[in-house]
Structure 1
Amino acid sequence: MKTILVVGGAGYIGSHMVKMLLDSGYRVVTLDNLSGGYREAVLGGDFVFGDIADSKGLDRLFAGYAFDGVMHFASFIEVGESVRNPGKYYQNNVAATLNLLDAMVAHKVNACIFSSSAAIFGEPQHVPLNEQHPKQPINPYGLSKWMIEQILADYDHAYGLKSICLRYFNAAGADPDGLLGERHLPETHLIPLVLQAASGQRESITVFGQDYDTPDGTCIRDYIHINDLCQAHLLALEKLLAGSKSTAYNLGNGAGFSVKQVIDVAKKVTKQPISVIMGKRRAGDPARLVADSKQAQTVLGWQPQYADLATIIAHAWQYELKMKNKE
């Protein structure tokens, strides 16, 4: 039984990853400072309250377990906040990650799965975005992710630390079993915001711009079901543990969905009215952001199981209702 450290395993993606690893027969240790995650979202394995900014704590953790690999999800993710407060993002997403990588090198743990972002590409020069697309991030969040990808390449060259970086835009949906889902404070992602409007948790949803060069005039974005995303991470981990070279893959749903599509499908799934406010465009919002995942499908054998938008929203709605009923 291989032992995997999941950093940020109490967060949205991390908690779903922990569940999948446990279901797949791995021993799992979660490290999380609970700044954006929830202890009850970690459904099994060992939980360690701590922070990768604490190098001494990391040394004790790595001394206490024989880790076969590390999966790193512990990043701040709000683009707007990264522009307003870049120091927070460089300190956590870059400097603290260096502590983690140094602990891995010191304890000879040579397999790292890194949750990167398609934000490393910046303004799209072509859509969908493949792995070769120029990397020109336009905000500190995207820059922090690209910096770590480059640092990982250097750590491979110098220390033999192998990594696979996975780049994607929007994780969406919820655990089909209804045990886990998306809980951000504040919530900034479209699908949960739309569903909060459907459940009465918020009064309305604002659409920023309806005059883009897309079929219905609203922005098209990439939404990948959280379980499909975790499946890609699991396949990448298995590849790395089997001796793969360091590499990176883009993960996408292939076509993308517009803001209007998301709202329309949410109305059908929830059978609830959703109040929509039409707002002006936001600065820096490209018309389309879709990642090309052909390479991940070919090399990793990744095949998304929940590509249908209605399924993604139905699973998220199940969790939204569960959380509302808890109140």
Structure 2
Amino acid sequence: MKFLVVGGAGYIGSHMVKKLLDAGHDVEVVDNFSGGHRLPAIELDIADAPALDAVFAEHHFDAVFHFASFIQVGESVAEPAKYYQNNLAATLTLLQAMLRAGVKNLVFSSSAAVYGDPQYTPIDEEHPKAPINPYGRSKWMVEQILEDFDHAYGLKSVSLRYFNAAGADPDGELGERHEPETHLLPLILQAAAGRRSTITVYGRDYDTPDGTCIRDYIHVSDLCSAHLLAVDYLLEGGASTAFNLGNGQGFSVQQVIDAARRVTGRDIVTSDAPRRAGDPPRLVADSSRVRALLGWQPKFASLDQIVTHAWNWEQKYPWS
């Protein structure tokens, strides 16, 4: 099969490209490199309709993978226009280009942020959708557009609602590297590597066993395996749908720090700060639906495996 991966130079997108190539597929990558790292790809912004049309005219794609979204919640609150322009309006441009080219299968990177503050955990796909920031709203709006495009134009899609993607390529060829970095595990490993003096723990007074927030961490390789199953499902005629992607078990901030200490053998200094506004005590996925319908099973479900692969990357490609 031949696939177009938009946003293929980013953290998850680059791992997906590797997964597709390893599976024997033909892949074209487009990226504007606003948040990704330079690699062989077609440089364009998905807001550029003529450029997209040129790509679709040159290649026949069986499906499109869409990873080209901005992802920082805090930034979305401060700059909502940036998020609605890229995550929503540019996605609409991409969908229209797909329709003009007759490409009607899309795997979309959505987010658990569509649910907002959880009313219950673990969170299943039927949980009310009440996003509390522009990032989450942009993802939920796209999901609703996809539903409308299915009914009107026959464009089939699978929206994958990520919880906390983490880890790195088990082969050590790829890893996580954002600037600025906002994700917990790479921040902890930066402290272990001596690139930052301390890791801040925001709140130790939550209603959890150790008082710190609990989140559902899913290995990036397992995340990409779910995308492969999702595109196969679409190409076999599956109906448009959405799935949660998580391990179904939560780990607290303190447990992640403890795992990093075990894996790295380093002393990781922590400092405490008050709770951040909008941080719920627990965010854990009910992923039983994707397991049942697509047969997905995480291969790297243990926290120590996730941390080990991320640490191998941190050591192999140290920052200057």
User: Counterpart of 2:183?
Assistant: 189
Cα shift readout 1:67-117 (whole Å, capped 9, x = no counterpart) = 100000000000000000000000000000001000011111010000000
Give the corresponding residue for 1:204: 198
Structure 2 unaligned residues grouped into runs of 5+: none
Q: Which residue is 1:237 aligned to?
A: 231
Alpha-carbon distance in 2 for matches of 1:125, 1:214: 16
Q: How does 1:92-131 map to 2 (within 5 A)?
A: 92-131=86-125
Deviation at 1:201, TM superposition (A): 0.8
Determine the structure 1 residue equivalent to 2:34: 35
* CA deviation vs aligned residue, 1:123-171 (integer Å, no higher than 9, x gap): 0000010000000000000000000000000000110000000001211
Q: Where does the alignment leave 5 or more consecutive residues of structure 1 unmatched?
A: none
Residue of structure 2 in register with 1:6 after alignment: 5
Is 2:19 the counterpart of 1:25?
no
TM-score by length of 2: 0.99
CA distance in 1, matches of 2:54, 2:84: 24
Pairing partner for 2:295 from 291, 296, 301: 301
Q: Determine which of 44, 59, 76 is the counterpart of 1:65.
A: 59
Deviations 1:33-67 (A, max 9, x none): 11111123x6xxxx211110101100101101001
**Code of the aligned partner of 1:222:** D
Distance 1:275 1:203 in 2: 7
Alignment correspondent of 2:249: 255
Look up the equivalent residue of 1:218 and give its one-letter code: T
Q: What amino acid is the match of 2:9?
A: A
Contact 2:163 2:244 in 1 (8 A): no
Q: Which whole-Å CA distance do the structure 2 matches of 1:242 and 1:18 have between them?
A: 21
Name the CA distance, whole Å, in 1 between partners of 2:192 and 2:303.
16
**What secondary structure does 1:194 align onto?**
helix
Choose from 131, 156, 159 the match for 1:165: 159
Q: 2:35 corresponds to which letter in structure 1?
A: G
What residue in structure 2 maps to residue 322 of structure 1? 316
The residue that corresponds to 1:139 in the other structure is 133
Runs of 4+ in structure 1 over 3 Å off: none
AA aligned opposite 1:73: F
1:188-223 deviations in Å (ceiling 9; x for gaps):
000000000000011100000001000100000111
- Total equivalences in the alignment: 320
1:285 to 2:279 alignment: yes
**Could you tell me how far apart the structure 2 residues matched to 1:155 and 1:254 are?**
31
Query: For 2:137 and 2:214, how far apart are their aligned partners in 1?
Result: 23
Secondary structure of 2:98 counterpart: helix
How far, CA to CA, are the matches of 1:246 and 1:112 in structure 2? 9
C-alpha distance in 2 between matches for 1:134 and 1:166: 16
Q: Deviations over 1:236-277 (max 9, x none)?
A: 011001110100001111111000000001001000010100
TM-score, reference length from structure 1: 0.97
3-state SS, counterpart of residue 39 of structure 1: coil
Amino acid at match of 2:131: P
User: How far apart are the structure 1 equivalents of 2:207 and 2:197?
Assistant: 29
Letter of the 1:223 counterpart? Y
In 1, Cα distance between equivalents of 2:102 and 2:148: 16
Contact 2:73 2:135 in 1 (8 A): yes
Distance 2:196 2:91 in 1: 36
Question: Which residue pairs with 2:270 in the alignment?
Answer: 276
Q: Distance between the aligned counterparts of 1:14 and 1:259, measured in 2?
A: 26
Alpha-carbon distance in structure 2 between the residues aligned to 1:294 and 1:136: 22
Identical pairs, percent: 65
Distance, in Å, in 1 between the alignment partners of 2:103 and 2:113 is 28
8 Å CA contact retained: 2:174, 2:313: yes
Q: CA contact under 8 A between 2:111 and 2:163: conserved in structure 1?
A: yes
Contact 2:188 2:199 in 1 (8 A): yes
Alpha-carbon separation, structure 1, partners of 2:63 and 2:188: 37
